[in-house]
Every structure is written in C-alpha cells, then in structure tokens.
Structure 1
Amino acid sequence: MTSPERSGRPPIWFYYGAGRLTDLAEYPKVVLQPEFYNSAELAYLAEKGVQTLGYLSLSEDQGPPAPWQRPERNQDWGGAFVHVGHPQWVAHVVEQAKATVDAGFSGLFLDQLNVELTFPEDVPHLLTLIAAIRNEVKPGYLLANRGFGMLPRLAELVDGVLFESFSARWTDDGYAPWPPDVLEFHAQIAEQLLQLQLDLYALDYADSPGLTDFAVRRARQFGMHCAVSDRALSRV
C-alpha cells in the first residue's frame, strides 16, 4: 500500500458513500457507514492494512419513533435528539456497537457528542455510555468527534479525538473559514488536546485549493492530521 506521505493523502479519511474499495485502501484509517459495507469488503480493506471505523451516533436517532427520543430534532440532519441515559437507548447503542465490530470493523467513530451545548444534563450519561461501548468493543479503536465538554474524562475512554470543522466549515452559501474569534477559541481547545495522550485529527470542509491548504496547514500547527472534504463526505 502506498504510504500517505508519498501519495499526498492524509492518514485518515471520512467517506459516507459505498464501494470505492481500491481508493479507500490508500488510507491507513477510514471512517465508513456500517450499512454500506459487508464483511467481505471490510476483510479486503483489513488485508490492505486499513483500519476501518464504523459510524455510530450517541445522542441522535435517525430511526422511527422510539421511547428514548426527545421532541427536538437536529435542524441540519433531521434526526431526533435522545435522552442519552434512557436504558433502552443505551442497550440499543451498545448492541449497534457490538454488531458493527462483529461485522469486521476495527473500531468505531463516535459522533454527536456535543451534548453540553444542547442538553448538558446528559453529559454524565454520555460518559457512562461511552464507557459501556469501550468495555463492549475493546480493544477496538474508538475515535470521538469533539466531545470537549467531557474532557479530561473522555480521554481515558477513547484512542483519538477528531476536531470537526476546526478551521473551515460548510455554510448555506458554500464553504468558508471560521471568523477570527472562533479560530482563536478553537486554537485554545486544540492546545488543551495537545496535553492529552491521544491521536488527534481534524476534519474540515472546503471546495477550493486555497481554503484546503489553509485548513491543512493550520491543523498541522496544532499537531493534527487533517482531512478536507465536502459536506456530504462524498469524496475519496
């Protein structure tokens, strides 16, 4: 397999489509949607030395109405927010985690962790849920998306942290860097992350070489490997 340094590819990639196995095999680590890949495809990637991480949402539910759902919904993606500590939700998520790893994934990408911004009372429940997942899938790799409101405890439960939209974001009008005050705030968080014994990654969104280069260079300054894609994560 071509090394990411020689190919110009980052050591991690995020792809929410299907197929493209040959392209995905160029990355050491890939985050995928579990429903799009079967065990044979995951075995192929494993043979190529690729560590596959299955997507798992911990505080939003895209499924049909269920007792753990809150009435509020995510305005961007349409999923229902949940009561993270609801016993049936905990059982549901832990079973999803186990099924994903049993299917052949090397680990999990834990998403929707910023409950301190929406339902702060759920922060301790979310930590308990992550601990249950850790226990269920160990020694599988766990990558957390943000979740800064759970630090430093979160660092004891996961192997890496992703800083999504560290430097650049998608907007209703396309893609843009964050304004200076947000960039400074993100830099302060990144400096805290550097004190932890974790793998650090950034995922930024851009549609131009200039914005892409800005995101990659800025992430590197804070010890993060950076992947840059589109809003739908459809690029490989």
Structure 2
Amino acid sequence: MTGGPLAVYYGAAAGWERLARYERVVLQPGSYPAEELGRLRRYGTQPLGHLSLSEDHGPPAPWHRHDRNPEWGGRYVHVGHPGWMQHVVDQARAMMAGGFGGLFLNSLNVELTFPEDLPHMLTLIAAVREEARPEYLLANRGFALLSRLADLVDGVLFESFSVAWVTSGYAPWPPATLEAHARIAERLLGFDLDLFALDYCEDEELAEFARRRARRFGLHSFVSDRALTRL
C-alpha cells in the first residue's frame, strides 16, 4: 500500500489493485459490486460510499426546494423533511449492506444556502451513524457544525483547501482565502479527527504547492482533477 491515507475517485472502474494502494477510498455507489468492495477490504482498504445530505439528483420529490445547485445541477432539499431523512438513511443502509466500510458525507455547507437547516443536518448525520452503523464517517467540510460534528464523525475532508477551479482552469486561492482556510485548518487540529485536504489541479507544480501546504497544516493531501477521475 503506497498511495496514501485517502483517495477520492469518481471515475470508471479503476481496478481494485490501483484502489488498494490507499488506506481509504471514496467511491460512487453503484460503481463497484459488493465482490470488488469486499476484495478491497480484504486487502486492507476501506471503501467509503459517497452520500449527499443536502442535494438530490433524483426524480421530483416532496422534499425538493425550487432551486438547484448551479454548478452540479442537483436540487436543494429541505434537510429536515422526514421523507428526505428517511431517504438518506435508506441510502446509507443500502451502501453498508452492499459492501462499503463507511460513508463520505457530502454537501454539508448549508450555512451558505439555507442556514435554518443546520440543526437538521446534525440530526440527519446522527441518524445515519445510528441507523446505518458505518465503521467510518468522513465529513466534507461542515465547518459551521464543527463543534458538534466532531462528536459524530471520524474524519474531516477540507475540499479545495489550496487550489480553486476558475474559468481559465486551476489556480491557487487568493491570499485572503488561503489565510481564511489556514485559520480553519488550525481550528481543525484542536479536534481528535483524521484530517485530509482535497485539491484539484493538472499541473505538477501546482499539485506540489497543494501537497506542501496541506502538510504544513497537518492535513493528509490528495490531488486529482476536477472530475475526480485521476488516482
């Protein structure tokens, strides 16, 4: 196993040998059958299933809001809607039954869109842990929830810690944003959590900048392309 502590991979089936280089790997549910996930686990890699907590790409449902995520197209949801909560818990249970060892909790940043949903988000995460019983929970950001989130998850991923996607391609965040992210990273170090940074770029010099900066703040780094199709 030489790849590192974590990979995030949403591409077509990569083959378990490449994925098995990592301690944990985040995958899209449905991309790998239970036998492949079981093989990964036997070789010491823990597969984590991607689970969205505030956006839905499914058919029209009573928990949908009118707005969509302008970047990825998913429909925003009312996180506290009982139907949505049950839907997410059912998804989590199915992933665990299908061979995943844990879950990657995505789209937690509702403070940026619908801050009234913050307490419902904590309730939903607690329900996922209690009902699906994952071995490991990795949260993507969720910094507005951090003081209580730290008691519910095992690790935090800081997506786009050092590098941003801009219209012309990939570029470092502006200095003010890098400083703000540094302050968050320093706060994260105060919790007993596994800490990771995910950055997007295609240039090796920029990738090394992201890795070096993550190390400086105590975060394990994984760098990929924006579509997460590169290991």
TM-score (norm 2): 0.98
Answer yes or no: is 1:230 the counterpart of 2:230. Answer: no
SS of the aligned residue for 1:81 comes to: strand
1:137 to 132, 140, 154: 132
Please state how far the C-alpha of 1:172 moved relative to its aligned partner. 2.1
Aligned position for 2:25: 30
Please state how far the C-alpha of 1:137 moved relative to its aligned partner. 2.7
Q: Given that residues 104 and 137 in structure 2 are in contact (C-alpha distance below 8 angstroms), is that contact kept between their aligned partners in structure 1?
A: yes
Q: Given that residues 32 and 53 in structure 1 are in contact (C-alpha distance below 8 angstroms), is that contact kept between their aligned partners in structure 2?
A: yes
Aligned position for 1:121: 116
CA deviation map 1:18-69 (0-9, x unaligned): 3222111111110000111110110111111101000000000000111000
CA distance in 1, matches of 2:209, 2:26: 23
Aligned AA (2:229): S
Answer yes or no: is 1:13 the counterpart of 2:7. Answer: yes
Percent identity between the aligned chains? 62
Q: Given that residues 18 and 37 in structure 1 are in contact (C-alpha distance below 8 angstroms), is that contact kept between their aligned partners in structure 2?
A: no
Aligned position for 1:196: 191
How many matched pairs? 230
Aligned position for 2:56: 61
Aligned AA (1:85): G
CA distance in 1, matches of 2:125, 2:134: 14
Structure 1 gap ranges (5+): none
Q: Given that residues 145 and 163 in structure 1 are in contact (C-alpha distance below 8 angstroms), is that contact kept between their aligned partners in structure 2?
A: yes
TM-score (norm 1): 0.96
Q: Given that residues 107 and 137 in structure 1 are in contact (C-alpha distance below 8 angstroms), is that contact kept between their aligned partners in structure 2?
A: no
Aligned position for 1:169: 164
Q: CA RMSD in A?
A: 0.9
Aligned position for 1:153: 148
Moved over 3 A (4+): none
- Larger deviation: 17-26 or 82-91? 17-26
Aligned position for 1:179: 174
Answer yes or no: is 1:221 the counterpart of 2:216. Answer: yes
Please state how far the C-alpha of 1:11 moved relative to its aligned partner. 1.4
Structure 2 gap ranges (5+): none
Aligned position for 2:77: 82
CA distance in 2, matches of 1:134, 1:173: 40
CA deviation map 1:102-133 (0-9, x unaligned): 11100000000000010000000000000000
